[in-house]
């Protein structure tokens, strides 16, 4: 005899069992792992470099502590992979620290230099700072330094008369040297002109077509050139006449000629007097 249960939960239980059996018998599909995309890394920021003059000079005492050197630093700030706004803010925050650093690094050297030796101190300080960088607490940005050095204002006032006098002397020397060189060049050039012209028979007449001063000088030069051979001929004629009139022998004759030649040379500066 078949018994039918009137309990609805029995049918429901059977349905659940059948579904479980069906699901358990069904082949299991493999689980495929889906890769999770990795977000790209942010792009690297460009390196930053800022060269900036210190807002105020740094005063350090010179030798003797009576005067100060005025040191004007120029800072070079550098940073890597840092936003520009953050870089600028950090530079602003470190200006006071940079000024103290320059003062500490410069004081000992400054006291080794006399108050008017600012240039020598500048060279030594720039040699000291060259190739070196500093960072505050090991943090970016880093700092490089170069400097300009001026003497105390009171020293500059005392040096002004010295430099005014020196400039005046050097200018006068340069002017005298220029005049001498130009006179030498002009004299040499006129000498060439006169030497090239004196053999030309029409030169004296052509000189009149030039300026008046040139014509006068060239005329005197030409007259001198004509007078010299005539005077030499007179000297030699006198020597020859003395030979015949006085009955000189060969040795006396030679001496007379020699005396005439010497007189001619001395007159025109051809030899030194003996």
Task: Give the pLDDT score at 252.
Answer: 61
Task: Give the pLDDT score at 209.
Answer: 47
Task: Give the pLDDT score at 265.
Answer: 62
Count of positions (residues) in the chain: 274
Task: Give the pLDDT score at 61.
Answer: 96
Cα 142 to Cα 95: distance, rounded to the nearest angstrom = 12
- CA atoms within 13 Å, Cβ hemisphere of 151: 18
**Do 150 and 70 meet the contact criterion of CB atoms below 8 Å apart?**
yes
Q: Which residues of the chain have pLDDT under 50?
A: 1-5, 209, 273-274
Helix (H) or strand (E) holding 110: helix 95-110
- CA atoms within 13 Å, Cβ hemisphere of 148: 7
Q: pTM of the prediction?
A: 0.54
Q: How far is CA 21 from the centre of its chain?
A: 97
Q: What are phi and psi of 68, to 5 degrees?
A: -115, 150
77 C-beta neighbours (distance < 10 Å), count = 22
Task: Give the pLDDT score at 137.
Answer: 76
**Do 233 and 258 meet the contact criterion of CB atoms below 8 Å apart?**
no
**Do 256 and 236 meet the contact criterion of CB atoms below 8 Å apart?**
no
- CA atoms within 13 Å, Cβ hemisphere of 221: 18
Q: Tens digit of pLDDT for each residue in 148-181?
A: 999 999 999 998 998 899 899 999 999 888 888 8
Task: Give the pLDDT score at 254.
Answer: 63
Cα 76 to Cα 147: distance, rounded to the nearest angstrom = 11
Sequence spans of domains, the chain = 48-151, 153-193, 203-267
Q: What are phi and psi of 70, to 5 degrees?
A: -100, 110
């Amino acid at each position: 005899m078949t018994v039918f249960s009137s309990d609805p939960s029995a049918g429901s239980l059977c349905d659940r069992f059948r579904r479980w059996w069906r699901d358990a018998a069904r082949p299991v599909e493999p689980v495929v792992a889906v890769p999770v995309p990795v977000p790209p890394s942010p792009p690297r920021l460009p390196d930053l470099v800022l060269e900036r003059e210190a807002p105020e000079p740094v005063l350090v005492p010179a030798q003797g502590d009576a005067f100060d050197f005025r040191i004007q630093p120029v800072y070079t700030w550098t940073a890597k992979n840092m936003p520009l706004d953050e870089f600028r803010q950090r530079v602003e925050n470190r200006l006071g620290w940079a000024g103290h650093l320059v003062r500490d690094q410069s004081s000992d050297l400054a006291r080794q230099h006399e108050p008017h030796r600012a240039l020598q101190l500048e060279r030594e300080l720039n040699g000291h700072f060259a190739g070196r960088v500093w960072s505050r607490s090991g943090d970016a940005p880093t700092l490089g330094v170069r400097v300009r050095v001026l003497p105390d204002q009171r020293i500059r006032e005392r040096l002004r008369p010295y430099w005014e006098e020196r400039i005046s002397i050097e200018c006068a020397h340069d002017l005298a040297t220029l005049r001498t060189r130009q006179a030498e060049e002009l004299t040499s050039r006129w000498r060439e002109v006169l030497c090239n012209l004196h053999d030309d028979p029409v030169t004296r007449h052509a000189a009149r077509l030039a300026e008046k001063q040139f014509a006068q000088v060239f005329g005197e030069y030409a007259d001198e050139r004509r007078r010299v051979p005539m005077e030499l001929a007179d000297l030699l004629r006198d020597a020859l006449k003395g030979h015949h009139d006085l009955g000189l022998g060969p040795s006396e004759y030679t001496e007379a000629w020699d005396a005439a030649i010497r007189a001619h040379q001395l007159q025109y500066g051809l030899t030194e007097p003996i």
